[in-house]
Amino acid sequence: MSGEQKGIRILHVDDESSFLTLTKSFLERGDAGFHVDSATSAEEGIMLLKSGNYDLVISDYRMPGMDGLKFLERLRQDGETVPFIMFTGKGREEVAIEALNKGANHYMQKGGDLKSLYGTLAHAIKEVVAKKRAEEALQKSEEMYRTLFENTGTAMMIVEEDMVISHINDEMVNMSGYSKDEIEGRVKWPELVMQDDRERMLKYHRLRRSDQEVAPKSYEFRFIHKQGDARDASLTVTILPGTKKSVISIKDITEKKRMEDELRRSGTLYRTFFEVTNAPTVVLNEDGTFYRVNKEGAKISGFTKEELEGKKSWTEFIANAEDLERMKNIHRLRRDNPDNAPMHYEFLFRDRYGNLRNIYVAAALIPETKKSVVSFMDITERKQMEQEIQSILESVPTGMFFIDFKDPDGRFVRVNKALAERYGMKPEEFKGKTTRQLFPNDADNYIKSDRRVQKSGKPRIEKIRKITTLEGVRWVRLDKVPVKDADGKVIGIIGSEVDITERKQMEDQLKESELKFRTIFDRAVDGILVVDTDTKRFIMANEAISRMLGYTLEELLNMGPMDVIPKEQQPQRREELEKAFTGEIKGMPNIPFERKDGRVIYVNINAGLMKFHAKTYLAGIIRNITEQKRADEERERLLSELEAKNTELERFTYTVSHDLSSPLFAIRGFTSLMREDLEQSETENLNSHLERIETAAVKMEHFLRDTLQLSRIGRVTNPPEDVPFGEIVEDALEQTSGELKANNVAVSIAEDFPTVHVDLVRIAEVLVNFITNSIKYRGDQPQPKIEIGYRVDDKGTVFFVKDNGIGIDKSAHEKVFELFYRVDTGGEGTGAGLAIVKRIVEVHGGRIWIESETGKGCTVCFTLPVR
């Protein structure tokens, strides 16, 4: 629309014709410059927009077929930029937000004082249209400038204050290799600049916006072509007057720089060798700065080569002071007396991100220079493994040892603290000694056992046996595992000596009272488990828990609490169990236990600590609450269903209130117009206004009638009975026989219908509705047809009424069952029929849906309880 046009042409879209008339009257009376055209559907509005120029569109939200949001979305998808105001009675905040997000210019809610409402609307219209016209004028001036920008013959670009490239010309496209779509609005200019030029150019960019006179206007830099290669360029730049935007012209001087680059390539052979090695390698200057860094060297540091070479010192990567001082001394010694400087050593390395690594170094001085070449090997994993093994050995209470088979009698290489202290020794006293030296009395048996492991190559568990230590007589279990080299040869053993004295003593003591306790223990209805708080293993279990979990008692006594907890629940339950071991909690409700057969049951545990012979145990009484839990879950399911019903009721209430508000709004509006006409003694429109008020009142009456009928379904019913479905079909056809004959409709009926258990009157009402709809929407068929039948598929027995009428678009298949939805907004009725039908079918426990395409007839399918 031209910015010179004074009047404003408005297209108003709303399915309520009375509201269209009301809006047109108020707007055109209030401002002679307004001209309002009306459309009763979004589809009609689209046709009018194609045939005429409009400055603005006003649209309702809730309309049959295409609603206001879809109408707006369709316009924007088609490239239509006409301003759009959503003017609706649906006042929810999420609708306003969605409308504005989809491109609406304004959002207003119907209601309140009419003069104030339409005054606000008129002001919004003028404001939105004025803004649109100003934008169009600005666009014309920008197009003129763009023509000059595109035809200078020099590569040019415009850069915003945030460094985003907003425009480039064709010459810049040719120079950079990028298309305009790839650059404009997507790329910041530093992305096209080589790394070592970026900081300098960023400084110029900031300076140009703070002190334009000081900032250089011409300089050289290297930019990155799309193909990835660097190009040398000279640049001229200035600021667009009155803005923060830069206009930049660029000239490619790559060829000029080529000869200079050739001179630098003389060192290619050296650098190639330097780069291809897989080991991180660097060359250091005498002052400790990096002279050269290969790819792997840069990678391990976390920096780029450009960030390292000539800028950083190796001392910045030393993690601790002790290593730093030692390595500085080595660095100086290598330059003063290379033969005495160590070539290999280790240190702790810290990369750019603070990650620590153990590094093995190989270093040497480059002949005839003060530069040294240094290669690194990352030995972090090896160090961690050594530390982890040592940490494990020292932390476990079990005695651990490693014996090397290089000596025929077996020589101890390492033992942990727990084992050494058991025999009154220190770990270092074991190291290097043979089994015969340490245990002369038992050496033959020990060595014989070790040889069995060496020969078989398999782990061995020694029987429980009695030994004498500083603590007196102890009972232990000895486990041995073979250690093999890369060829599979057994070169030693790792052994663990577990002290089970306390367990054995407890077992002996428990036997004394077992006969008295066992009767009560085994006859208990609830399951009982006793856990050793140190080993976290079951030491007692009764028959009830055995039956509950499906394990034998022997199996349970080789298990612990975590063995019966489902894997996914173990992290959470482990914390609860630890609290029970300390007495912090006693009750553990709703705990999942996994039976031997994999089924999960739920139990309540009442646990308590007990002391026996100076040891603490946790005893738990376990009650199976699986059935109770299922009952609770069923209650929750019923509550969830109730919540869903409440949600459905809320949606129903909203729909009714919205559709009843439209005729009320029309009555108020035309009453207001009549009052104004009477005040001005204008009576020519009174009859027209009264007719519209009467129409709105009748519409409201029909809405209320259908709403009442829908609410009675499920409350006012006839007792269901077994009825052959064919009899219901005959009843419905008899009720509609007059309409069928008058419209020359051919009806075909299936044979051998099944018997259904239903309210006969209500289901006949359902069929009558389907038949009358098929007649009403038969279209211009020369021979209308209706087929009533059924089929049996994966949904069970499905009844259907099929016609060859105009059909229903797929987008409306679910909407037609909404209360007061009408496919034909110009037809009679309130649109409640199919909502009532759906309710009847659902009350019978059935489902209902539509299978149809526009122009290909319609099939309504539904299910009922079949005998």
Q: In 160-253, which ranges are continuous DSSP H helix?
A: 170-176, 180-183, 195-210
CA 329 distance to own-chain centroid: 55
What is the tens place of the pLDDT at every residue in 367-424?
A: 888 899 998 888 887 677 656 666 766 777 788 888 888 777 788 888 888 888 888 8
Cα dist. 810→64, 420, 836, 849 in Å? 14, 82, 21, 11
Q: Is the pTM of this model over 0.75?
A: no
Measured N-to-C along each axis, helices 833-843 and 760-776 cross at an angle, to the nearest 10 degrees, of 150
242, pLDDT greater than 80: no
Backbone angles phi, psi at 797, to 5 degrees: -85, 120
> What tokens does 595 get?
């039976």
- The answer to whether the beta carbons of residues 319 and 348 sit under 8 Å apart is yes
Which residues touch 662 (CB under 8 Å, ≥6 apart)? Answer: 16, 19, 89, 696
> What tokens does 419 get?
């084992």
How would you class 76 by CB atoms within 10 Å of its CB: exposed for 0-12, middle for 13-18, buried for 19 or more? middle
The pLDDT score that the predictor gives to residue 424 is: 85
CB atoms inside a 10 Å sphere around CB 154: 12
Alpha carbons within 13 A on the beta-carbon side of 419: 25
> What tokens does 514 get?
């077992």
Question: Which one is predicted more confidently, 392 or 268?
Answer: 392
Backbone angles phi, psi at 321, to 5 degrees: -65, -35
**Residue located via tokens 């069952």:** 817
666, pLDDT greater than 90: no
Which amino acid appears at position 114 of this protein? L
* CA-based torsion, 105, 107, 110, 112: positive or negative: negative
- The answer to whether the beta carbons of residues 164 and 187 sit under 8 Å apart is yes
The pLDDT score that the predictor gives to residue 651 is: 59
Distance from C-alpha of 2 to C-alpha of 119, rounded to nearest angstrom = 25
> What tokens does 344 get?
């290999």
Confidence of residue 2 (pLDDT cuts 50, 70, 90): very low
667-684 b/e with 16+ CB inside 10 Å = b? bebbebbbeeeeeeeeee
What is the tens place of the pLDDT at every residue in 103-145?
A: 898 888 887 788 888 888 899 899 888 888 877 766 665 666 6
Looking at the chain, the whole-number percentage of residues with pLDDT higher than 70 is 85
Rank 65-79, 262-276, 803-817 by mean pLDDT and report only the highest: 65-79
Distance from C-alpha of 538 to C-alpha of 531, rounded to nearest angstrom = 4
Instruction: Name the residue among 455, 451, 459 with its Cα closest to residue 435.
Output: 451
826, pLDDT greater than 60: no
The pLDDT score that the predictor gives to residue 629 is: 86
- The answer to whether the beta carbons of residues 517 and 535 sit under 8 Å apart is no
Beta strands in 7-117 (DSSP E): 8-13, 34-39, 56-59, 84-88, 106-109
Q: What is the DSSP letter of 130?
A: H
Q: In 9-65, which ranges are continuous DSSP H helix?
A: 17-30, 42-51
Distance from C-alpha of 672 to C-alpha of 670, rounded to nearest angstrom = 5
Q: What is the DSSP letter of 598?
A: S
Q: What is the DSSP letter of 265?
A: G
Instruction: Name the residue among 227, 220, 226, 217 with its Cα closest to residue 252.
Output: 220
Backbone angles phi, psi at 486, to 5 degrees: -65, -25
The overall average pLDDT reported for the chain is: 84
Distance from C-alpha of 404 to C-alpha of 420, rounded to nearest angstrom = 17
Distance from C-alpha of 698 to C-alpha of 242, rounded to nearest angstrom = 64
- The answer to whether the beta carbons of residues 742 and 703 sit under 8 Å apart is no
In sequence order, the β-bridge partners of residue 468 are: 473
Instruction: Name the residue among 503, 478, 508 with its Cα closest to residue 493.
Output: 478
- The answer to whether the beta carbons of residues 43 and 15 sit under 8 Å apart is no
The pLDDT score that the predictor gives to residue 492 is: 87
What is the tens place of the pLDDT at every residue in 731-784?
A: 989 988 889 998 999 999 999 999 999 988 889 888 988 998 899 888 888 899
Distance from C-alpha of 273 to C-alpha of 265, rounded to nearest angstrom = 14
- The answer to whether the beta carbons of residues 825 and 815 sit under 8 Å apart is no
- The answer to whether the beta carbons of residues 104 and 82 sit under 8 Å apart is no
Distance from C-alpha of 335 to C-alpha of 313, rounded to nearest angstrom = 17
Give, rounded to a whole angstrom, the gap between the first and last alpha carbons of the chain: 68
Strands 615-624, 600-612: parallel, antiparallel or unpaired by DSSP? Answer: antiparallel
146, pLDDT greater than 70: no
41, pLDDT greater than 50: yes
Backbone region of residue 88 per phi and psi (left: phi > 0; alpha: psi in -120 to 50; beta: other values): beta
What is the tens place of the pLDDT at every residue in 459-478?
A: 888 766 666 666 677 788 88
- The answer to whether the beta carbons of residues 850 and 859 sit under 8 Å apart is yes
Which domains are delineated in the chain? 8-145 (3.40.50.2300), 153-262 (3.30.450.20), 277-378 (3.30.450.20), 383-499 (3.30.450.20), 503-624 (3.30.450.20), 630-712 (1.10.287.130), 721-862 (3.30.565.10)
- The answer to whether the beta carbons of residues 68 and 87 sit under 8 Å apart is no
The pLDDT score that the predictor gives to residue 463 is: 60
- Three-point CA angle 564, 570, 574, nearest 5°: 100
Instruction: Name the residue among 668, 734, 658 with its Cα closest to residue 703.
Output: 658
Q: What is the DSSP string of 310-377?
A: TT-BGGGGB-SHHHHHHHHHHHHHHHH-GGGS-SEEEEEEE-TTS-EEEEEEEEEEPTTSS-EEEEEE
Distance from C-alpha of 805 to C-alpha of 810, rounded to nearest angstrom = 15
**Residue located via tokens 């496209």:** 173
Radius of gyration of the chain (CA): 45
In sequence order, the β-bridge partners of residue 167 are: 158
Q: What is the DSSP letter of 718?
A: P
- The answer to whether the beta carbons of residues 313 and 287 sit under 8 Å apart is yes
Beta strands in 202-278 (DSSP E): 218-224, 230-239, 246-252
Count the helices and strands in the chain (H runs, E runs). 28, 33
The pLDDT score that the predictor gives to residue 389 is: 61
What is the tens place of the pLDDT at every residue in 153-180?
A: 788 899 999 999 998 998 889 989 999 9
